[in-house]
Amino acid sequence: MCGRYYVDDDTAREIEKLIRQVDEKIQKAENIHLQAGDIHPSEVAPVIAADHNDICCRWKRWGFPGFSGRQLIFNARSESALDKKMFKESAEHRRVVVPAAWFYEWNKNKEKNIFYREGQPILYMAGLYNRYQDEDRFVILTSAANESMKPVHDRMPLLLEQDEIEKWLFEDDLTEALLQKRPALLERRSDFEQMSLFPVENSQ
């Protein structure tokens, strides 16, 4: 799953750089002035979205309202997104990419782990959005954990490569295949391991 991630000024600059690499004529990146810090469910955050035939950056709120009116749904399983009524239409027509410097996950001992991509300043998480009342809201898609994530959690964000962003946003016929992809391996660091004098073994 993904319940918190981190953005910073470098992330914002990479978004703008990406948009201009895709099409030098594009001038549609909204003002992206982020204070470095964590993004939590229910907060407004920048996402990469399609605007007709262009790529743009938009601010959307993280989390769909749940059926009870109190619950907030901030993740969707990639394996079943095309089958679930809440996500099906969005998966078919309203896809976004959620940029992050890294994301967090907690193990069964409630210890926080940070996951990031070595040598890449930005992670691209696949997402969906929909309109609720007067604002757009998004969810982050998750997939089964790969080998780098399994020691901590059995789910992880569905990560896209940079060359898959346009395909995810525009090519409906590739959506199902991308929903089934295996995310790249990640690096992990954790404060509790850094403070230890001895290697920490993962419990089985």
Q: Is 31 exposed, middle or buried (0-12, 13-18, 19+ CB in 10 A)?
A: exposed
Question: pLDDT digits over 146-199, tens only?
Answer: 999 999 999 999 999 989 999 999 999 999 999 999 999 999 998 655 433 333
Domain extent listing, the chain: 5-194
Topology (CATH level 3) of domain 5-194? hypothetical protein yedk fold (3.90.1680)
Q: What is the mean pLDDT of residues 2-20?
A: 76
pLDDT recorded at residue 26: 42
Cβ pair 42, 51 in contact under 8 A: no
- 57 band by pLDDT with thresholds 50, 70 and 90: confident
pLDDT recorded at residue 33: 55
Whole-structure pTM value = 0.84
Q: What is the mean pLDDT of residues 77-85?
A: 97
pLDDT recorded at residue 153: 93
Closest to 158 measured CA to CA, from 121, 117, 127? 127
Q: pLDDT higher for 64 or 11?
A: 64
